């Protein structure tokens, strides 16, 4: 009886060992070709995905720079022949605006209307003038030499 049980245990153990070795053997056979199969498809989509990601990022960011310069920490107005760029600048109260003559002609910045008691005086090419706007409101200005040059600074609270 003992020899019979020992024989049954030996057969069962043999079957289990056989089953385990076959189960263990199959994944290694299945895993081996997998890296070859997955490597090729992942390399193909990457070049097509990368340009799309760049394009969508650019298109998402494009509207933001249009808003940012009008409220930048260092607001600037370019004085050109014969206009101001941007013609309307929006800033927060207390900000200082720098007007730089980037034109080839002499210009100035002269306030007009309510709160218009400010002027840069003559600005030769490359010269600049800075003014802090301490109160909210809309400040219109012109170039007194070329009155068709008009601009405004909108100061928000
Ligand atoms: Cu001018």
CA distances from 8 to 11, 16, 18, 151 (A): 5, 12, 15, 101
- By the CB criterion, residues less than 5 angstroms from ion ligand 1 are 107, 143, 145-146, 149
Q: Do 20 and 77 share a domain, yes or no?
A: no
Give tens-digit pLDDT for 118-146: 999 999 999 999 999 999 999 999 999 99
Q: Look up the domain containing 30 and give its range.
A: 2-61
Domain boundary among 41, 61, 81: 61
How many whole angstroms from 75 Cα to the centroid of ligand 1?
Answer: 20
Per the structure, the count of domains in the chain is 2
Task: Please list the ranges in the chain whose pLDDT falls under 50.
Answer: 2-4, 6-33, 35-38, 40-41, 44-59, 61-70
How many whole angstroms from 117 Cα to the centroid of ligand 1?
Answer: 18
How many whole angstroms from 134 Cα to the centroid of ligand 1?
Answer: 25
Going 72 to 149 to 145 to 136, the CA torsion angle's sign is negative
The predicted structure's pLDDT at residue 43: 53
Q: Do 47 and 72 share a domain, yes or no?
A: no
Q: How many angstroms separate the CA atoms of 143 and 35, rounded? A: 71
How many whole angstroms from 140 Cα to the centroid of ligand 1?
Answer: 15
Q: Do 52 and 100 share a domain, yes or no?
A: no
How many whole angstroms from 110 Cα to the centroid of ligand 1?
Answer: 10
Q: Do 151 and 103 share a domain, yes or no?
A: yes
């Amino acid at each position: 009886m003992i020899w019979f049980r020992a024989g049954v245990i030996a057969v069962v153990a043999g079957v289990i060992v056989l089953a385990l070795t076959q189960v263990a053997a199959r994944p290694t056979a299945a895993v081996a070709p997998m890296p070859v199969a997955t490597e090729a498809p992942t390399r193909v989509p990457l070049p097509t995905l990368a340009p799309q990601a760049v394009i969508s990022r650019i298109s998402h960011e494009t509207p933001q720079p249009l808003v940012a310069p009008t409220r930048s920490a260092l607001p600037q107005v370019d004085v050109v022949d014969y206009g101001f760029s941007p013609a309307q600048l929006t800033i927060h109260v207390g900000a200082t605006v720098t007007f730089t003559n980037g034109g080839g002609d002499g210009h100035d910045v002269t306030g007009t209307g309510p709160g218009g008691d400010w002027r840069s005086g003559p600005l030769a090419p490359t010269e600049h003038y800075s003014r802090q706007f301490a109160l909210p409101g809309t400040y219109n200005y012109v170039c007194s030499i070329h009155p068709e040059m008009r601009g405004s600074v909108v100061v928000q609270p």
